[in-house]
Amino acid sequence: MKLLNQLKSLVTKNPKKITDGLEKVTSQIDKRTHGKYTEKLEKVSDTVESKLESLTTEDIDLVENVDLTDSVDEVADATDEKVADVAEAAEDKLGS
């Protein structure tokens, strides 16, 4: 759980670095795909930036209901479920 707390702290203290990095990555993707995904990349950037603006440390719950007594498999399963939920939400937002 210490790692998650460090991640929370890092994200909330460095939103500008995250958005700058995202801008560089999306710019390169857009350049290499010759603008084919410009609209989707803009949606992703806008979504990430708006989430970062409203972010607090309590808002980030990457893995819920996991305690230090859980086995590695239980933590992995909980993480996989959360990642799947986030991916599904992203797909819904992007409309793909």
Report pLDDT digits (tens) over 30-42.
999 999 999 999 9
Mean pLDDT of the 49-58 span: 68
Per-residue pLDDT for 68 more than 70? Answer: no
**Counted domains in the chain:** 2
Mean pLDDT of the 72-84 span: 71
Pick 35 or 50 by higher pLDDT: 35
pLDDT of residue 57: 44
Residues 44 and 68 in one domain: no
pTM value surpassing 0.75: no
Angle of helix 38-53 versus helix 15-32 axis, rounded to 10: 180
> Residues with Cβ < 8 Å from 33, sequence gap 6 or more?
none
pLDDT of residue 72: 67
Q: Which residues form the domain of 45? A: 1-59
Residues 38 and 74 in one domain: no
